A and B are shown apart, each in its own frame.
Chain A
Amino acid sequence: MRGKLDRLVALGLFFCLALTSYKGFMKLPEVYPALNPAGFFRGLVNDRENSLIMKERHFDINVQIGKALELRLQEMKARGEFSSGDALVDRERAERALRKTRARDTRNADYVLLAEQNLARARRLRDEGWTMGWSLVGTAVCGPREPGKAEK
């Protein structure tokens, strides 16, 4: 009885190990785009598209935080308030927050641009049918990154 259970557990563990190995093998950058190119490129492009949408959203919320801060500053000036009851919000801190938010806008715009470039790159790799190749010594052949600047 005991031996049977042991064998069952060992079999279960072996199955888990085999499954993990298979899953890991199929995710190797050499293997995935070669054996399942459609799945690989769908995942790659989808990931980049969702990232771009996320960066756009992060840009938008920061712009809107700036607008909300402007609203509160106007409101404090119109009502002649230096603190709106709560100690955390006063004119000085609101102005400082507005400056920080505007600085962040610049950075967030760059992040949107980077995400666009990453998406364009993923689409280019998909259209070129990029694979990592199997060579152990040479560098991967994935086409020149910029025209006229081919890698050696």
Chain B
Amino acid sequence: MKKLLLAILTVSALAVGAFAFWNGYVYPPYGLHEYSKDQFAPAWETAAKGFCASSGLAFVRQDFITFRKPDSGDEAYVWGVARALTPDGRERLAWIYLEWSTKRRLWTRSYTLVLADDDDEVYYTPTYPGQFQRALIALSKIMKENARHVREYLAPPTH
């Protein structure tokens, strides 16, 4: 019984670890390997289209894109907003933010989300929803984002 428990624990720890590694190392630069630091625009567009496709949205256009790099270091950042349409024709804004990895020398996805989405914290008031409901929403957002990563990884490339 103790052995079985230990085996189950080990397997689940390995599974969680492998998924965390995949989410943190394999997925972020997926499909962006070919772009150099100066090719931030096509890298951003690839990430934006991949995000929209895996979120069930139709990419319409780029609203704006900002590229920044410090004078004193190797870092680089690009962020922007993509306009997209839901299947029933509602407009949504998607925030797409990529960071240049100085160690791996490639663009990585950092923070991507649909702004003011149906489960966004921006609608919270001090009394609604309750603490338990908030925890549930937060967990569901994490799991949805994980599932979206997998969908984006398995989908055919958008470029």
Contacts and interface: CB of A to CB of B under 8 A. Distances in A.
Contacts, number: 76
A99 to B, nearest CB: 11
Contact of A64 (B70, B91, B115, B125): B115
A69 B122 CA distance: 9
Nearest to A57: B79
Contacts of B70: 46, 49-50, 53
A50 B76 CA distance: 9
At the interface, is chain B mostly helix, strand, loop or mixed? mixed
B68 interface: yes
B95 A64 contact: yes
Nearest to B83: A71
B44 to A, nearest CB: 14
Contact of A75 (B75, B91, B115): B91
Interface stretch (A11-19, A84-92, A137-145): A84-92
Contacts of A121: none
Given A57-B77, A96-B125, A71 B95 contact: no
A93 B123 contact: yes
Interface of A is mostly: helix
B73 A46 contact: yes
B121 to A, nearest CB: 9
Interface residues of A, number: 29
Q: What range describes how many residues of B lie at the interface?
A: 20 to 34
Interface string A60-76: 11001101110110010
A68 B75 CA distance: 29
A25 B129 CA distance: 50
Most buried by B among A45, A60, A75, A86: A60
A101 interface: yes
A47 B71 CA distance: 11
Interface in B28-73: 63, 66, 68, 70-73
Candidate in B68, B71, B90, B122 with the most chain A CB atoms within 10 angstroms: B122
B102 to A, nearest CB: 11
A97 B123 contact: yes
25 contacts: A42-B72, A42-B73, A46-B72, A46-B73, A53-B70, A56-B66, A57-B68, A64-B63, A67-B81, A67-B93, A68-B93, A68-B115, A69-B116, A69-B122, A71-B91, A71-B92, A75-B91, A84-B118, A86-B118, A88-B119, A89-B118, A93-B125, A94-B123, A97-B116, A100-B122
